[in-house]
Amino acid sequence: MKKAGIIFSLSILMCLMSFSVCFASGLQLLHSYPENGSNDSTLENVVVKLYFNEDVSAKEVQQDNKGAFKFTDEKGKELPLRILYPKNLDEIWILVNKPLQSNSEYKLVISGDLKIPNGDTLGVDQTVKFKTRNTGTDTTVNMVLMGLMMVGMIIYTSIATKRALKKEEKKKADEIKVNPYKVAKKTGKSVEAVVAQTEKDKEKAREKKNRRGAVNEDDASDEETEIDNNKDTKRVAGARPISVTGSTYITGRKAKAEREKELAAAKAAAGTTKPKGTTGKSKNRKSNKKR
């Protein structure tokens, strides 16, 4: 009875092993990138990576497999391809030598005649469909993210500024509010001396503040006075002599000019001692004759 059970179990195990070997035999496409049905593919330099369970990069089958791939767009138009064989022997990369359109569907068909060196083929055509990204949506999303980032930066800057102002105000308040007991303990002075010094500092601060206010008020009053004085200022068309206003005052320059004018008139009235047309020699002759 035990022997029969052992024989039955061994028979079942051998059947299962034979089935697994049978199903695992032959060339198979395991998966691809982009995956079948994906919708986020790029538009330029698109490469479809195919992963198989066998060595598909052997040089003796590369020429035969050259026509085993076809890449088409939504309208069925075939696009140029370039077949690449990477270092991994069980991979084939299909490079599309043309930029793709945004938000469009494309299809790669792998022929069932794709074979490997031992003669096994893929058997059935395999298809990989995918869709490209919508660049319009990507641009909108990027703009929205940028706007949110700008708003976040403004809010963060505003909050940071408010915190800095509150911190500064708190610091000033802490400077004003002095705990005399802590200061006395820290400095070794008496509490009365600390209180007196604090009141003195506060008084100096108030006086300084009042002086600043007084200076600002004086500046404002000076500006107002200057504005009022400017209101009384009158403008004339040009320079005019003082005699126009009826004044008889004579300036030094004017008096000098009048004196020179009078002397010139006196000389003209007295005549000259040198008649016209005479020279020094003729004058000497006349004087000798008189002698």
Block means of pLDDT (10 residues each) for the chain, length 291 residues? 62 59 68 92 92 93 92 93 93 94 94 92 94 84 85 90 84 64 74 78 78 65 54 56 58 75 81 53 51 46
Closest CA to 92 of 108, 76, 105: 108
In this predicted structure, what is the pLDDT of residue 109? Answer: 96
Closest CA to 120 of 53, 69, 71, 49: 53
pTM of the model: 0.45
Residues 144, 73 share a domain: no
In this predicted structure, what is the pLDDT of residue 50? Answer: 96
In this predicted structure, what is the pLDDT of residue 24? Answer: 46
Beta-bridge partner residues of 38: 130
In a domain, 255, yes or no: no
Last residue of a domain, one of 164, 191, 218: 218
Residues 138, 209 share a domain: no
Beta-bridge partner residues of 49: 33, 93
Residues 38, 85 share a domain: yes
In Å, how far from its chain's centre is CA 130?
38
In this predicted structure, what is the pLDDT of residue 275? Answer: 52
Residues 129, 184 share a domain: no
In this predicted structure, what is the pLDDT of residue 202? Answer: 76
In a domain, 282, yes or no: no
Residues 104, 87 share a domain: yes
Residues 140, 79 share a domain: no
In this predicted structure, what is the pLDDT of residue 34? Answer: 93
Q: Distance between CA 4 and CA 14 in Å, rounded?
A: 16
Residue 188 is part of which domain span?
180-218
By the 8 A CB rule, do 106 and 72 touch?
A: yes
In a domain, 231, yes or no: no
In a domain, 258, yes or no: no
Count of domains observed in the chain: 3
Residues 121, 29 share a domain: yes
- In whole angstroms, how far apart are CA 220 and each of 59, 216, 262? 96, 6, 57
In this predicted structure, what is the pLDDT of residue 78? Answer: 94
Residues 68, 127 share a domain: yes
Q: Give the CATH number of the domain where residue 35 resides.
A: 2.60.40.1220
In a domain, 210, yes or no: yes
In this predicted structure, what is the pLDDT of residue 253? Answer: 73
Contacts of range 51-54, beta carbons closer than 8 Å, 24 or more positions apart: 51/90, 51/91, 52/27, 52/28, 52/90, 52/91, 52/92, 53/27, 53/28, 53/90, 54/27, 54/28, 54/90, 54/116, 54/120
Last residue of a domain, one of 218, 245, 276: 218
In a domain, 67, yes or no: yes
In a domain, 4, yes or no: no
Q: Distance between CA 49 and CA 93 in Å, rounded?
A: 5
In this predicted structure, what is the pLDDT of residue 230? Answer: 52
